[in-house]
Structure 1
Amino acid sequence: MSSGGFHVHGPHDHAIEHATHGGDHHHDAGHEASGVATSRIAMVTAIVATVGALFSYMGGATQTNAGLYKNDAAIKKTEAANQWTYFQSKSTKQHLTEVSRDLNPNPEDKTKYQAQIDRYEKEKNDIKAAAEKLEQESSAWDHKSEAQMHEHHRWAQATTALQIAIALAAIALLTKKKWLEYAMFGVAGVGIAVGGLAFLHI
């Protein structure tokens, strides 16, 4: 109530004033907390996006390596096949020479044929060793290719998990749902863990 030049507060005036100041305080606190959560989600999203880009690069690199290694394995396999064909050719010549030796009654000719047979046998052993070495190299390249493909799948799984985490972050920012924020952190953690397995070749 007013009297002259000053104002006398009634009980209801104090209650309204207290409620007004209290409401502003709670509003400011809630706004501040929301701002902190938004900043935190934005920062984590930026980090996850950066890590995801690295994982994606590693996934592409391992896939490329797998293709190259598989190609090297095929080349070695072809070279080994050529050696085995050469080995078969030498075997055929050796067999024909053995027949000629056995059918020829002249001892000097038999000695000459036997020398050729011995030479073919040595050449065959060398060719066989080369072919087996090439097959081993082909198998080694195949194993390397398979290992790279396994890593590629790991990197792809990790990248997918991080992309899902980024999507959850966007939804969490829009809906202000706390559980979505926790889900984002969880999925991001899974993605980074899987990326760690890929880095360790597991």
Structure 2
Amino acid sequence: MSGSDFHVHGPHDHELEHAAQHEPKGLAGQLAVITAILATLGAFFSYMGGATQANAGLYKNNAAITKTEAANRWNYYQAKSGKQNLAELAVDLAPTEEQRARYRDKIARYETEKNEIKLHAEKLEAESADWDRKSDEQMHLHHRWAQATTTLQVGIALAAIALLTRRRWMEYATVGVGFVGTALGVAAWLHL
């Protein structure tokens, strides 16, 4: 540019200026915006689908660990029951009242210990069932996010077909499928 306000630019510069000054018009511009929106939503939905799948696996793992702890407690309960049964037999076989009294004390102690072990085992089983329920909920959400993502991907594919065929009704189909995918994503967000 010179001091006399004389300005020369090439045809490419002219097209860039024209594109910057005017919003995209026509089918191609509309499909570009629709595709960008669908791709953005799809990326978010895909992330949420992966996150819920990871949560489901983590919760299922916690359920298995807790179930194993409960099984260990039940094994301990059985061991105490076996000792209690031997002490009950010893009461019948003990030659003196002093020995029988000592075995009766052991029986009472085993009974108390068994009750505590049983309560802990039942608590662990309930906790394991809760982890399983949470895992199932997360898998349901994962499937909903996956459905939403897949539907948006179909919408993006329809946008490409609409652009190639220059069919306006395909653009409407793209928008319709995009709305369905978005609705599925909203359903996942609302835990439906």
Q: TM-score range by the shorter chain?
A: 0.7 to 0.9
Tell me, which stretches of 5 or more residues in structure 2 are unaligned?
A: 1-23
3-state SS in 2 of match to 1:201? coil
State the 1:41 CA deviation. Answer: 1.4
CA-atom RMSD in angstroms:
1.1
Question: Could you say which residue in structure 1 is the equivalent of 2:183?
Answer: 193
**Bigger Rg over Cα:** 1
Matches within 5 A, 1:1-202: 35-202=25-192
TM-score, normalised relative to structure 2: 0.86
Identity of aligned residues (%): 62
Once residues 98 and 155 of structure 1 are traced to their aligned partners in structure 2, the CA distance between those partners, rounded to angstroms, is: 60
Runs of 4+ in 1 over 3 A off after TM superposition: none
Aligned residue pair count: 169
Once residues 156 and 182 of structure 1 are traced to their aligned partners in structure 2, the CA distance between those partners, rounded to angstroms, is: 23
Q: Which has the higher contact order (CA 8 A, sep 6+)?
A: 2
TM-score, normalised relative to structure 1: 0.82
3-state SS in 2 of match to 1:122? helix
* Per-residue deviation, residues 72-116 of structure 1 (Å, max 9, x unmatched): 000000000000000000000000000000222421111111110
Once residues 89 and 188 of structure 1 are traced to their aligned partners in structure 2, the CA distance between those partners, rounded to angstroms, is: 61
- Partner AA of 1:133 in structure 2: K
- Partner AA of 2:100 in structure 1: K
Once residues 103 and 70 of structure 2 are traced to their aligned partners in structure 1, the CA distance between those partners, rounded to angstroms, is: 29
Question: Could you say which residue in structure 1 is the equivalent of 2:20?
Answer: none
* Per-residue deviation, residues 46-96 of structure 1 (Å, max 9, x unmatched): 011000000000000000010000000000000000000000000000000
